[in-house]
């Protein structure tokens, strides 16, 4: 699917999960900006969060609620998501605000406040408009329904231009299991994780520890393989819920692998949709690094290329400036890298080998390879058998405009 192309959002309902949306007027009156997820009573839940040390209040509160429910053997019953305000950099008042909205939702639904996880995204450093959120909660609850995925996908957007969703079906223990998910994110995107939120659910029965393993593995191969600008956020989180409504779960290694693969596919589709919707993006770029001595050095090289402003601006201009790519690989910190062993392709065009321009390379071929909206850069390090892939975008005038005007 081309960069900027509208994504058809056919997301199948997941039995055991309901979604409701409302307008709290957090940043703009009338915009849907509040989402409530209601989870089945006996669900299991896995979650990962940003590794940014400047973690937002809702991240800290969500982690604490997860610890409390684990100790008390209670299930998380609700997720509460707001956009337009990150509630980050707000100190103790921010923690109190996140706790207050959880407490209000808990009172309205008859659960413990620790059974609610808060998520926020938007502007950093501004106080959360608690009263607006509390006033809108009854509307969000009253709108809870099985087929609210699209409304929820639209309500969690910030600088995104379109909603992002994915669904897979998989056979587990003789039953058809549905895995569906939505995500938001368009800038401040870099692994560990990004300024992104993602919510994925399946109706299988999965023990919590196993579910956490599935999620962490899926995130490592998807959301932690994308970068738009190299910045990590204060607020990201990914949730995977197993509602148990199907009444069956993986009973064999084959079943478990099928379910894990389907979850990874959903996460990968959502992660790539985030890149395609990158702020100001005009190109979807796959950076493959092969023949590495380790996965880590492949990733170091891939990210050095994917996050280089010089490479990204050349991609925007459709300029096959291959020297910028090799220069980025050269500063990736790979120990004792022999540049004579490095080979570079733009698409299927061999551009450089032995650390220099390939003898039969022609500039027009490079231009033809780098002009399309979807581009693959392949770098062979000539050091081993490892390979890794990262997805990124170009860097355009609009990226600067969007971020310069973000708070205006």
Mean pLDDT of 337-355: 94
Q: What is the pLDDT of residue 368?
A: 96
Output the CA–CA distances (angstroms, integers) from residue 199 to 164, 203, 238, in the order listed: 11, 14, 6
pLDDT surpassing 60 at residue 188 = no
Catalytic-role residue among 195, 234, 243, 392: 195
**Residue 173 · residue 255 · CB < 8 Å:** yes
pLDDT surpassing 60 at residue 337 = yes
Output the CA–CA distances (angstroms, integers) from residue 165 to 1, 7, 268, 273, in the order listed: 14, 8, 11, 8
Angle between helices 309-316 and 322-330 in degrees, nearest 10? 160
Of 305, 277, 189, 280, the C-alpha closest to 1 is 277
Name the more confident of 332 and 3.
Answer: 332
Mean pLDDT of 235-264: 95
Per-residue tokens: 370: 């780098």
Q: What is the Cα–Cα distance from 270 to 352, expressed in whole angstroms?
A: 33
Band of pLDDT at residue 397, cut at 50, 70 and 90? confident
Band of pLDDT at residue 193, cut at 50, 70 and 90? very low
> For the chain, how far is it from start to end, CA to CA, in angstroms?
32
Angle at 284 between CA 170 and CA 199, to 5 degrees: 40
Angle at 333 between CA 331 and CA 336, to 5 degrees: 105
Per-residue tokens: 296: 């880590």
195 is catalytic: yes
DSSP string, 142-207: HT-BTT-HHHHHHHT-SS-SS-EEEEEEEEETTEEEEEEEEEE-SSSB-SS-BS-EEEEEE-S---
Per-residue tokens: 395: 């860097």
**Sequence-distant (≥ 6) Cβ neighbours of residue 276 within 8 angstroms:** 1, 2, 3, 4, 5, 7, 284
Q: What is the pLDDT of residue 400?
A: 77
Phi and psi at residue 243, to the nearest 5°: -75, -25
Phi and psi at residue 200, to the nearest 5°: -130, 140
Angle between helices 295-306 and 309-316 in degrees, nearest 10? 60
**Residue 214 · residue 46 · CB < 8 Å:** yes
Per-residue tokens: 7: 């994504």
DSSP symbol at 383:
S
All domains in the chain, ordered by first residue: 17-276 (3.60.70.12), 284-404 (3.10.20.340)
Of 80, 146, 85, the C-alpha closest to 113 is 80
Cα 316 vs. chain centroid, distance in angstroms? Answer: 23
Q: What is the pLDDT of residue 9?
A: 65
Most confident of 133-147, 148-162, 273-287: 133-147
3-class DSSP state of 286: strand
Angle between helices 208-221 and 253-276 in degrees, nearest 10? 40
């Amino acid at each position: 699917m081309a960069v900027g192309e509208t994504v058809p959002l056919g997301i199948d309902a997941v039995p055991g999960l309901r979604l409701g949306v409302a307008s709290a007027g957090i940043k703009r009156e009338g915009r849907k900006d509040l989402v409530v997820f209601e989870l089945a009573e006996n669900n299991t839940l896995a979650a990962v969060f940003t590794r940014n040390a400047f973690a937002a209040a809702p991240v800290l509160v969500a982690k604490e609620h997860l610890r409390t429910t684990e100790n008390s053997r209670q299930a998380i019953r609700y997720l509460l998501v707001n956009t337009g305000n990150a509630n980050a950099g707000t100190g103790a008042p921010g923690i109190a605000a996140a706790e207050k909205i959880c407490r209000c939702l808990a009172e309205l639904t008859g659960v413990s406040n620790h059974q609610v996880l808060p998520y926020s995204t938007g502007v950093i450093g501004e106080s959360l408009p608690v009263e607006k959120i509390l006033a809108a909660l009854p509307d969000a609850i009253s709108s809870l329904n099985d087929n609210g995925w699209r409304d929820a996908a639209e309500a969690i957007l910030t600088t995104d231009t379109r909603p992002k969703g994915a669904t897979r079906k998989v056979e587990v223990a003789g039953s058809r299991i549905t895995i569906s998910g939505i995500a938001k994110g368009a800038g401040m995107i870099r692994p560990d994780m990004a300024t992104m939120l993602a919510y994925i659910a399946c109706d299988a029965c999965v023990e919590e520890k196993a579910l956490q393993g599935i999620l962490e593995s899926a995130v490592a191969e998807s959301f932690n393989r994308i970068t738009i600008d190299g910045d990590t956020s204060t607020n990201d989180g990914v949730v995977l819920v197993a509602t148990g409504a199907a009444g069956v779960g993986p009973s064999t290694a084959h079943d478990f692998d099928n379910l894990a693969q389907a979850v990874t596919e959903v996460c990968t589709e959502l992660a790539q949709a985030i890149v395609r919707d990158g702020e100001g993006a005009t190109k979807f770029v796959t950076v493959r690094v092969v023949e590495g001595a380790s996965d880590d050095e492949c990733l170091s090289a891939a990210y050095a290329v994917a996050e280089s402003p010089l490479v990204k601006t050349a991609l925007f201009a459709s300029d096959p400036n291959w020297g910028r790519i090799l220069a980025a690989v050269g500063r990736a910190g790979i120990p004792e890298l022999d540049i004579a062993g490095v080979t570079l392709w733009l698409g299927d065009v061999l551009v450089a080998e032995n650390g220099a321009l390939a003898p039969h390379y022609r500039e027009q071929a490079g231009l033809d390879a780098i002009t399309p909206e979807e581009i693959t850069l392949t770098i062979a390090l000539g050091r081993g058998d490892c390979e890794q892939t990262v997805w990124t975008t170009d860097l355009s005038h609009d990226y600067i405009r969007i971020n310069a005007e973000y708070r205006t």
